[in-house]
């Protein structure tokens, strides 16, 4: 005996959030961050967020937080505000200005390639926050997001911290897009080529190369490397490839590390003492490039172009030149487009390679 058919039941309408939608792509271009203004109050707020990050300062909070709030945030903001004021422009913080510009140019490049891929700038510390930009893209219905940190060399204190910020937002979200993260691009041919081009252009403008090239990276505690952070090796690899591209012999360049903070031993040699030693040894002219920074900022414009310059000249040097970061150079935007093309593979069909046009 045949079973009687089940009565037809109409399907309930889908909730708006469950409606099928194009799996659209977006980019979040991430940088370290900057205070809102070159004032002690703004610096106190920025440094409190920055120096509370366990990725940045790995001292147990029980010991670190009393030092941070009882000493550092009472003294450092005023000193740091004066430094920021020396590089601040009418447009604002250099790092914020350049990051916004890079996002705009990359977005225009993707539009020219016929791709509907918005590019939003974001800051790990300060505004616009990574969480805020992810929420904005989610609200727009973007279902696939590439996080592109502007850190060529991977470091737990930078790249991993970007991922931490993203996952904090994910933990609070009811639904969220697919995410991909660019870990590093320290040896990418487009990156090395852009760096080499910037040095060659500087040589052409000056009519000559300096006697010595100092390749200065942001430092990290030596202990971090002992615990397995690949940052130091990646910095050395970047410097090696840049030297090869420029055909510079080892005796004409130095790899150094800057921006040391606190009493712990950091990666060495340190930048400023190296410059002083070069001057005292008879080196008359130096050039400094900072490949670890995608955008000019306090650490390059004040620490290198001002403080390091003064230290070299006072030690007996005669000519000091700072080679700017890649900022909005066409070759830099070329690189960012190449990174996007590489990391959205499978998400985007019909990519038009602008480099072949």
Task: Please give the backbone phi and psi of residue 235, each rounded to the nearest 5 degrees, phi first.
Answer: -60, -45
Residue 186 is assigned to a ligand binding site: no
Is residue 8 classed as helix, strand or coil in its secondary structure?
coil
Residues shown for the chain: 357
Is residue 16 classed as helix, strand or coil in its secondary structure?
helix
Omega within 30 of 0 (cis) for the link into 283:
no
Q: Going by DSSP bridges, is the β-strand pair 25-33/119-125 parallel, antiparallel, or unpaired? A: parallel
Which residues have C-beta within 8 Å of that of residue 246, sequence separation ≥ 6? 196, 199, 200, 213
Tokens of 1: 């005996």
Residue carrying the six token digits 């172009």: 305
CA distance 322 to 249: 20
Task: Please give the backbone phi and psi of residue 3, each rounded to the nearest 5 degrees, phi first.
Answer: -70, 140
Segment holding 32, helix H or strand E: strand 25-33
User: How would you class 319 by CB atoms within 10 Å of its CB: exposed for 0-12, middle for 13-18, buried for 19 or more?
Assistant: middle
Residue 299 is assigned to a ligand binding site: yes
Binding site for Fe(2+), by residue number, is 218, 299
Binding site, by residue number, is 218, 299
């Amino acid at each position: 005996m045949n079973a009687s058919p089940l009565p037809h039941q109409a399907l309930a309408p889908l909730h708006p959030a469950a409606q099928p939608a194009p799996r659209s792509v977006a980019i979040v271009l991430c940088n370290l961050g900057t205070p809102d203004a070159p004032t002690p109050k703004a610096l106190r707020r920025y440094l409190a967020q920055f120096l509370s990050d366990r990725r940045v300062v790995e001292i147990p909070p029980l010991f670190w937080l009393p030092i941070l709030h009882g000493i550092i945030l009472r003294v450092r903001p005023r000193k740091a505000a004066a430094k920021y004021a020396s590089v601040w422009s009418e447009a604002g913080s250099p790092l914020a200005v350049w990051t916004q510009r890079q996002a705009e140019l990359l977005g225009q490049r993707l539009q020219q390639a016929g791709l509907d891929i918005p590019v939003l700038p974001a800051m790990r510390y300060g505004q616009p926050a990574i969480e805020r930009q992810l929420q904005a893209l989610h609200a727009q219905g973007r279902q696939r997001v590439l996080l592109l940190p502007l850190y060529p060399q991977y470091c737990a204190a930078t790249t991993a911290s970007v991922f931490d910020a993203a996952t904090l937002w994910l933990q609070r979200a009811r639904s969220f897009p697919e995410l991909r993260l660019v870990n590093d691009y320290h040896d990418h041919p487009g990156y090395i080529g852009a760096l080499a081009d910037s040095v060659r252009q500087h040589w052409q403008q000056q009519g000559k190369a300096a006697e010595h090239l100092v390749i200065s990276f942001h430092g990290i505690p030596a202990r971090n490397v002992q615990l397995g952070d690949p940052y130091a090796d990646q910095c050395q690899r970047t410097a090696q490839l840049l030297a090869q591209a420029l055909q510079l012999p080892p005796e004409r360049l130095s790899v150094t590390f800057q921006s040391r903070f606190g009493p712990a031993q950091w990666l060495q040699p340190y930048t400023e003492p190296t410059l002083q030693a070069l001057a005292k040894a008879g080196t008359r002219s130096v050039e400094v490039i900072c490949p670890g920074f995608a955008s000019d900022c306090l650490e390059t414009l004040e620490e290198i172009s001002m403080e390091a310059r003064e230290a070299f000249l006072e030690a007996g040097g005669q000519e000091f030149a700072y080679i700017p970061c890649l900022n909005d150079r066409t070759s830099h935007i070329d690189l960012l487009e190449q990174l996007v093309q590489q990391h959205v593979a499978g998400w985007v069909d019909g990519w038009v390679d602008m480099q072949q046009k």
